[in-house]
Structure 1
Amino acid sequence: MSEAVAGDISSIQKAAVLLMSLGESDAAQILKHMGPKEVQRIGQAMAQLANVQRHQVEKVLDEFLILVGDQTGLGLGADGYIRNMLKEALGEEKAGSLIDRILLGGNTTGLDTLKWMEPRAVADVIRYEHPQIQAIVISYLDPDQAADILSNFDERVRLDIVLRVAALETVQPAALQELNNILERQFSGNNSTKSTTIGGVRTAANIMNFIDSSVEAELMESIRDVDEDLAGSIQDLMFVFDNLLDVDDRGIQAILREVESETLILALKGADPDMQEKVYKNMSSRAADMLKDDLEAKGPVRVSEVEVAQKEILAIARRLADNGEIVLGGGGEQMV
């Protein structure tokens, strides 16, 4: 079993150990309730398990029992409660858009199925559809998957889609109906007259964060040629590896617990000294010394490998931020 830099197994490895301990049938029932990204990450961690020591398994099970013991029924069936509460408090009309933002995707089963598909397969599904439909689909999916899908289109189509994503604010029922037809009527839709909030400049920036660096620079230049102000807005909202300097120490420590040793070494190989020091000071002195030794022994690496590693860490940072576990500073997150 690979160990995290801090000397302990990561959360994803703990989940893998727990599921492997439960047996195939029970583990399968749990995985049914997870999203595609969670299933993929846990599946990879399970495949990498080797030489798990008994005390590690016992520690994982003990932590799980303590966590379960602290849980309550609060949160179960929360969607219905939230809808009814907001409608009663604000009225049907005022609550509508707020509910859309909080519970976006609750009825979009057709779109959700795309999250389980390979990027190339999704690109094939939407390749010959209207560009606005392509933009809606791209906006709905996770930024890293959306970026991979865009890589399957040529430069002209990529530019058109990103510009449309940035311009999106709401989706009208007619557009959702068209999307419903594309997805073979799997999308349940909403026959009301309310619009759904989706897309926007921040969505475009999040997608750009995951696009390959060489393509990203070319695409950004094309956007700048079309709309210089829009390009500036997207650039301001993009969160890059150096922006991790603005994350507080607690946030950095949370990120490090999720990062594999080899990924961290590659990412820091191309990082500024300030970023390296930020990482060192949030580790034990022993772990920091080991990391420094590993960096020196690593030797030259390809820039593309560094970029992939840094994007992987950024994806972890965004996931933790989305879950409310850390706060991203700098251009990636506005503070209020």
Structure 2
Amino acid sequence: MSDEEYQEPLGSVDRAAILLMTLGEADAAQVLRHMGPKEVQRVGMAMSQLQHVSKDQVEEVLGDFLDAAGNVTSLGVGADSYIRRMLTEALGEDKANGLIDRILLGGNTTGLDTLKWMEPRAIADIIRYEHPQIQAIVMSYLDADQSAEVMAFFDSKVRLDVILRVAALESVQPQALQELNDILEKQFSGSSGTQTTSMGGIKVAANIMNNLESSLEGELMEAIKEVDEQLGEEIEDLMFVFDNLVDMDDRDIQVLLREVNPDNLVLALKGAESRVQEKIFKNMSKRASELLRDDLEAKGPVRVSEVEQAQKEILAIARRLAEDGEITLGGGADEMI
């Protein structure tokens, strides 16, 4: 087989994207109704990046799906909330608008959940003049990567105030959360309130910090330590950065590598410490590690921003796998019970 004919094996998310693209809008909408925000985001991103999918790959995906479906007696359902901007990016505004309408028809999106569909700048504008405690509650409720994007639109003093409040937050009274929901629902025509009362905390603050741009992260961490050095150290201990890959178990690294785009891996390792590179090489086959070494040597100068983006994408995959219970970040053998 020639190099031109060779195609990388499809990952699970790519397979899902191909399947949905073959279904058409109406049927894809019905499937997406039973997926949570993160799943829709991942699949939407994969759909937007699909290129040169061969007939054989489509047939393989459909065949595997039919085999799997034949052995399934029931399908689980997820939350009725979705990522609007990912569908728009995947399908284009015109096609996405009709699809989104069908997905949301009859849904149970709450006022706070509605924010998850909005662009970070729009969220920042909505809560910019709210009390910092309200801002902290919203940041705790959103996913960490979205919260980080929102906070990038705040000035440095507001960022510091909000992240300190997030770290100190442990729970919110249901009535207070419901009132916040009601206020937002008046603006977005949402529906029922949420019963969630536990949110915030040092771990949430660390997750938000993880997703900030490097320059903002460093500036904010320095400001936190000036206010409360111990809190800063606690947040820092819970943060997971690219260099922390060396602390992961070999098995977990191997699971992670199966999900990582090879081009992203080359970019990410271009700016990584040698010990991180060796950790990756160690957990690949001899042939794969040799090819990766060659690619790294052949790769010319790259922008720091491109390296950081590639590393963030790999870290996002690592956190998602950790959330799904497939891996443990930071070599968690001593935490197992």
Q: Give your verdict on TM over 0.5.
A: yes
Shift of 1:25: 2.1
The CA distance in 2 between the partners of 1:55 and 1:270, in whole Å, is 36
Q: Deviations over 1:277-305 (max 9, x none)?
A: 22223333333222212111112222222
2:320 is aligned to: 319
The CA distance in 1 between the partners of 2:35 and 2:119, in whole Å, is 17
The CA distance in 2 between the partners of 1:334 and 1:211, in whole Å, is 27
The count of aligned residue pairs is: 302
The CA distance in 2 between the partners of 1:199 and 1:335, in whole Å, is 24
Shift of 1:187: 6.0
Query: Is the aligned partner of 1:284 residue 2:288?
Result: no
The CA distance in 1 between the partners of 2:44 and 2:298, in whole Å, is 31
Question: 291-300 vs 61-70, which deviates more?
Answer: 61-70
SS in 1 for 2:129: coil
Matched ranges for 1:152-167 at <5 A? 152-167=153-168
The CA distance in 2 between the partners of 1:173 and 1:27, in whole Å, is 35
Question: 59-68 vs 210-219, which deviates more?
Answer: 59-68
The 1:184–1:319 alpha-carbon spacing in structure 2 relative to 1, beyond 3 Å, is: same
Q: Which runs of 5+ in 2 are unaligned?
A: 80-107
Shift of 1:72: 4.1
1:103 is aligned to: none
The CA distance in 1 between the partners of 2:201 and 2:161, in whole Å, is 14
The 1:248–1:60 alpha-carbon spacing in structure 2 relative to 1, beyond 3 Å, is: farther
Q: Is the 8 A contact 2:137 2:200 kept in 1?
A: yes
Q: Is the 8 A contact 1:126 1:134 kept in 2?
A: yes
Q: How does the TM-score come out when normalised to structure 1? A: 0.81
1:150 is aligned to: 151
Amino acid at match of 2:156: E
Q: Is the 8 A contact 2:174 2:196 kept in 1?
A: yes
Tell me: higher relative CO, structure 1 or 2? Use CA pairs within 8 A at least 6 residues apart.
1
Q: Is the 8 A contact 1:6 1:283 kept in 2?
A: no
2:105 is aligned to: none
Q: Is the 8 A contact 1:111 1:187 kept in 2?
A: no
The 1:19–1:50 alpha-carbon spacing in structure 2 relative to 1, beyond 3 Å, is: same
Matched ranges for 1:93-172 at <5 A? 109-172=110-173
Match of residue 193, structure 2, among 177, 189, 192: 189
1:216 is aligned to: 217
2:208 is aligned to: 207
2:233 is aligned to: 232
Q: Is the 8 A contact 1:168 1:200 kept in 2?
A: yes
Q: Is the 8 A contact 2:35 2:78 kept in 1?
A: no
1:97 is aligned to: none
Q: Is the 8 A contact 2:166 2:202 kept in 1?
A: yes
Shift of 1:63: 2.4
Shift of 1:62: 2.6
Q: Deviations over 1:232-259 (max 9, x none)?
A: 1101111111212222233222222222
After superposing on structure 2, the runs of 4+ consecutive aligned residues of structure 1 that deviate more than 4 Å are 74-78, 333-336
Q: Is the 8 A contact 1:7 1:287 kept in 2?
A: no
Amino acid at match of 1:156: K
The CA distance in 2 between the partners of 1:281 and 1:325, in whole Å, is 20
Amino acid at match of 1:183: L
Q: Is the 8 A contact 1:243 1:330 kept in 2?
A: no
SS in 2 for 1:169: coil
2:94 is aligned to: none
Shift of 1:140: 0.9
The 1:163–1:249 alpha-carbon spacing in structure 2 relative to 1, beyond 3 Å, is: same
The CA distance in 1 between the partners of 2:226 and 2:311, in whole Å, is 28
Q: Is the 8 A contact 2:260 2:314 kept in 1?
A: yes
Q: Is the 8 A contact 2:34 2:78 kept in 1?
A: no
The CA distance in 1 between the partners of 2:9 and 2:111, in whole Å, is 40
SS in 1 for 2:185: coil
Shift of 1:75: 5.1
The CA distance in 2 between the partners of 1:181 and 1:27, in whole Å, is 31
Identity of matched residues, %: 66
Amino acid at match of 1:149: V
The 1:65–1:129 alpha-carbon spacing in structure 2 relative to 1, beyond 3 Å, is: same
Q: Is the 8 A contact 2:209 2:217 kept in 1?
A: yes
The 1:299–1:217 alpha-carbon spacing in structure 2 relative to 1, beyond 3 Å, is: same
SS in 2 for 1:183: helix
2:260 is aligned to: 259
The 1:109–1:14 alpha-carbon spacing in structure 2 relative to 1, beyond 3 Å, is: same
Q: Is the 8 A contact 2:36 2:78 kept in 1?
A: no
Question: 167-176 vs 202-211, which deviates more?
Answer: 167-176
Q: How does the TM-score come out when normalised to structure 2? A: 0.81
The 1:251–1:72 alpha-carbon spacing in structure 2 relative to 1, beyond 3 Å, is: farther
The CA distance in 2 between the partners of 1:130 and 1:259, in whole Å, is 40
Matched ranges for 1:80-99 at <5 A? none
